[in-house]
Structure 1
Amino acid sequence: MIRSVTGVREKIKQTWVHLVGSAKEFSMEQRVYNTFCLITIIGVGYNIPFNIISALYGPFFVTIFLLGLVTYAFYLSRFKGRYHRSFLILSLSVHAGLGINYFFNDGITGPTLVLLSLFFFPILVVATKGRYWVWTSVNVGLILSLALVEYLYPEVILGRYLSRETRFIDMVTTYLIVIVLIRVCTVFLLNHYNNARLATEQANKALLKLNQEKTKLLSIISHDLHAPLANIQGYLQFLTKAEMPPEQRLQIKTQLLQNTQTTLDMLTNVLAWSKSQMDGSKKALTSINVHQALSSTLELFKDIARRKDITLTYALDQAVHIIAEVEFLQLIVRNLVNNAVKFTNSGGTVQVSAQKQDGSLLLTVTDSGNGQPALLSPDIFLLNSGTTYGTQQEKGVGLGLVLCREFVEAQNGRIWFESHPVSGVSFFVEVPLVPEGLVAASTSLVAVA
């Protein structure tokens, strides 16, 4: 029984939301206006049988006229999208219809002035700024004019209640309809206001965080990019002006190459971060062959690691496909492997592996470290202004892991690390696998092509 009642309530709620219109289709003002029209239709429809029972035949015909026009106005607004034309028709018909109804429904002692006052509510919500005072003047002017005419010429009031009971019923039900309408529309506006306020607060927090990160990033750039570029300039000036033994020249060239590579890595990460902030880190995720996407990048790092006497090995299944974006995935692996090489002593090892695990791919980058336990902060994936140095004083700005976290999350994955008790660190990246059926389908399509 309870389930059936709940089901009926839910169905009524869904029907009402459909009639009012969704937030995606209509603005807040339009939905409030549609709500007003619906409740007005219900209220006007109720008055039709009551007017017949009370022998108020003048109000009966006026009510029929109003019901038709209000229904048409709602149809224009909700289903035809002619919001302003609907409001114009509704405003003219309500003021005209209630103005006539005033003389057939007991004048100032009837409910007409209350209904006219109520119509000021949609004027507040719906009327444009340029026409607000026009409709306000029409509404207030009509109420004052009707009261003045009745005061000067009381004989113009034609319709009277048959009994005291019918008058009480009409007035009480009118007030109830007014209260319900004000209640529904006011709650609607309050909910919209609270939702908008919460959204604004969240947007302000996100903007404040972004501004703080940009400030930190600018500080990092001004400090940590300036120094290596100045060193590169100094090395080049020294090489062009000074005579030196070949061994010393080779040493300077090696140092120059290392500084250039470090600066290029920092600049690449800065540009990638800036682009991700502008694009919102959103790109189309597609099926990617992990081996094809990463093998060339890892082969390049083999040469970089060899210069530092580090052995880089990797094992990637050629048949593994994941749901990702190629540029994001390559940048993640590039930063993780670059960090592993940077913080590993000469003679050490860096291993990259990928294995399937519960519908996901677990990509692991493990290094042998610098001979001491790595004390990494849990906030390592957050932007900070500290500068990190590798085993050969390679400089970094702490931006690479920030990008890894952002890009992994953009691919519906997660990233974490584990420090080895003796030396070294393992970084783990988990991203969704492409279902086997889809992989087979895509492979067959490639074969046919």
Structure 2
Amino acid sequence: MENNRIVVLGAGESGVGAAMLAQKHGFDVFVSDFGAIASQYKERLQELNIAFEEKQHTSEEILNATEVIKSPGIPDKAPIIVALKKKEIPVISEIEFAKRYTDAKTICITGSNGKTTTSMLTYHILKKAGLNVGLAGNIGNSFAALVATADFDWYVLEISSFMLDDMYDFRADIAVLLNITPDHLDRYDYKLGNYAASKMRIAQNQGSNDTFIYCADDEETIKAMKHIRFNSKMYPFSIRKQIEEGAYLESNNMHININHKDPLTMSIIELALQGKHNIYNSMASGIVAKVLEIRNATIRESMGDFRNIEHRLEHVAKISGVEYINDSKATNVNSTWYALESVNTDVILIMGGVDKGNDYEMLKDLVRQKVRAIVCLGKDNKRIHEAFEDDVEVIVNTFSANEAVKMAYHLAKKGNTVLLSPACASFDLFKNYEDRGNQFKMAVKEL
């Protein structure tokens, strides 16, 4: 067996990035994808002369690896992973592999909700402060691709639970855990405790010079923390109680205090990101910035002029007094709860798609208070009808973004908000949540 053969499973952003980095460090690299490889990734592999296969996993090519880097989307139950584990061939994540080849410091952000927004905001503050910083992980570029092609001092990494599951020696200099709510439970034997344990891996291997930032108001986080011995410096954030070191809210002012040095106070009215959940996201980013001793003026300015990502509570248009918001990235119930919580008008809610075993109970109060009608957008909307038939007078079915927007337009009154916040995956009618969001925006612009 060759002692330097790396096999990469999955040829998406993370897989191709890992292959580029492995090739740069002299490994014999082979990439295998069980599905079809997207043209942009295939072209990159061909340009680099990296051997690959698609639409299959050839055992003879894979089971002779020294080490395997797997894409986060491949479950441990996949036959090829089972075969690798049986042969005791190490299987790691791209994040774990990439960290071996950089001395840069890492700020790792995870949580069931808000991690993309918090990662983007943290990156925005650091960049504005003049740090040499890259943004990677579950967002945009893969960490490995950036390590292979760039030279940053800091990385802000958005990290999913699937990435954490295959991280062993990796250590975050600053770890942020925003919240833990039921998501992807099909990968965790439908046990919230298993999923929570996966999220807590963000703090593994941390030492006394490292930082762990967490939400003191999140019950599942506090419960999961009881099983861990922390060595890092810990900073909580809360909107319910005063925090001595960390961040808290007091009569519409956000206070951040680290080491009792130059505390930051900022009115939440000044924040670019509005809504209760975004106060949490801003607090987490603010603590990171204060740990790095970034000036208060820079933090204030960054939090005031930040623009959120596409497909996350994105304002699309105002037509005849009706606001249209694209929140296609809301692929779980909790994200939809946050979206409804942040809208202050009556809502026509467009939701539906591939239901991941959703429990809609947590939405019922907000739906009763705010939602005038639900427009279902999906092939099978039975569970949405069952969940909300007693709470909403109008529930209608549609099977395209165009049809859903037209229906919402007829149902909405002046002063209402039409909110696309599906609470479901998009794969029944769309390529992905971006495709769903883009089709929604096009349909709104055609009104």
Q: TM-score range by the shorter chain?
A: under 0.3
- Higher helix proportion (structure 1 or 2): 1
- Higher strand proportion (structure 1 or 2): 2
State the TM-score, normalizing by the size of structure 1: 0.19
State the TM-score, normalizing by the size of structure 2: 0.20
| Structure number with bigger Rg | 1
